[in-house]
Chains A and B, each alone.
Chain A
Amino acid sequence: MKTRSIFDKELRRIQDEVLALGSMVERSLVESVDLLKRRDMKGSHELVAQDRVINEKRFKIESDVLTLIATQQPVAIDMRVLAAVLEITTELERIGDYAKGIAKINLLIGEEPLLKPLIDLPLMAEKARDMLQKALEAFIQRDVELAKSIPPMDDEVDQLYNQIYRELLTFIIADPQSIDQANYLLWAAHNLERAADRVINLCERVVFTVTGKMVEMDTEEGIAEIN
């Protein structure tokens, strides 16, 4: 087999692994909130343990990328793709950590009943998952326009976060007994907000991979190129 086709085949395999890692992380994110909602302690323990598999997969992909670079002769665009894989796996692992964090919050709240039924937190998780799915698709398709269409979804996540924040603040003011749990729930919302922010990092990386230009996708200020 020619060197180029070996390279292409291996790159496709690595990208499939990135997608598999992405699916694991997407599942963790939504499940962590579902477990919190259902007060499922056993499931949360399992999710915390499962995070190790995500971490190991990230390091395996990184190692495969470095081996590919060392053994083949990638051209400039390939270099950007491989660098993007390294960045994306790091971000995915961190998003996985946020999901694990939410599982831990469930364990920390323990058997105590929730202050209120969870509605906005699951919505935030689903939106963050949708953003992540689209960002990975944009990477695989090298679709700059798709990548640029994702940041406005982050505004919706931010709005939900603000809503949760206001609501939980009201609980804290009304009842000092609720402070601990309200804070835990605020951190859970914070984790989801950060997870969505990390998806924006992925989108920026997709643009860089295709165009060679680094942009900042702060939706309040639009998309700005970094000089």
Chain B
Amino acid sequence: MLVQPLELDLQHLQKEVWALGLIVERAIVESVDVLQQRPLGGSQPLIILDHQITQKRLAIELDCINLIAAQHAPGDDLRTIAAMLEIATELGRIGDYITDIAKIHFMLVRVEAPLLELFGDICLMATKTQSMLQRALEALQRQDLALARCVFVEDDEVDALYDHVYLGLLASMGGRSRAVIKKMRYLSQIARNLERAADRVTNICEWIAFSLTGELALVGDEKIYQEDFV
């Protein structure tokens, strides 16, 4: 069967968004390395990845706009293009959160007792966020609605870890030195960024669902209109 030009363009667009997602995923892996202070053997520094993310996001954005302008896309395709535009924006924001982690961690210098246990949970949050993004990208590639919805369960786990870390840090702040309290604040910011990044992965899943079903119900009150204070 002859493949229509618009269909080819849409396939290309989805591949580009997926490729952007892979760069963001690599940035998360890198951030885990930064957190655990492992040598960055062979991998790219976060700052380079951040630039790549920005460039690719802008290119995708223009692709989307050109595609809408050049073709008289039917409703379903227009919906897909709009969803890809939103997903690229969400990926860009996740990239921002992750790059910030490296900057905050730079100020943290070294984590010692009594913060090691909570720090372990933060590293686990990063790993879970990466796993969520991996699944979301798989859902995007396979156009798999069920898989996209599975990601929400993992987000609950990241939220639970965040609550544990944040409340744990608050509970142990009393009687500490200024230097330790500062480190605790940095850690709570890192945890917060990861929690926000994971939320944005769920936003991506909601946009995948929107592109497949046309229903905005999932992209509704729960996630897009965040109920948090940061």
Binding site for B on A (CB under 8 A): 51-52, 55, 62, 66, 69-70, 72-74, 79, 82-83, 86-87, 90, 97-98, 100-102, 104-105, 108, 165, 169, 172-173, 176, 179-180, 183, 186-187, 190-191, 194, 208, 214, 226-227
* Residue in contact with B62 in the complex, picked from A51, A79, A97, A186, CB distance below 8 Å: A79
Alpha-carbon separation in the docked complex, A90 to B61 (Å): 13
Least distance between A144 CB and chain B CB atoms (Å)? 17
Q: How far is the CA of A154 from the CA of B72 in the complex (A)?
A: 43
List 8 tightest A-B contacts by C-beta distance, closest first. Answer: A176-B174, A101-B229, A104-B229, A69-B68, A69-B69, A70-B68, A179-B173, A83-B61
Q: How many residues of B contact A (CB 8 A)?
A: 34
Residues of B within 8 A of A83 (CB): 58, 61-62, 65
B residues near A214, Cβ cutoff 8 Å: 54-55, 58
Choose from A173, A183, A191, A226 the contact partner of B170 (Cβ within 8 Å): A183
How far is the CB of A184 from the nearest CB of chain B, in Å?
8
CA distance A52 to B176 in the complex (A): 41
Q: Which residues from chain B contact A70 at a C-beta distance below 8 Å?
A: 68-69, 72-73, 78
Q: A101 — nearest CB in chain B belongs to which residue?
A: B229
Q: List 24 A-B contacts (CB under 8 A).
A: A52-B225, A55-B225, A62-B82, A66-B78, A69-B69, A70-B72, A72-B69, A74-B65, A79-B69, A86-B61, A86-B85, A97-B226, A101-B229, A101-B230, A104-B228, A104-B229, A169-B178, A172-B173, A173-B177, A176-B173, A191-B229, A191-B230, A194-B230, A214-B58
Residues of A close to B15: CB separation below 8 A: none
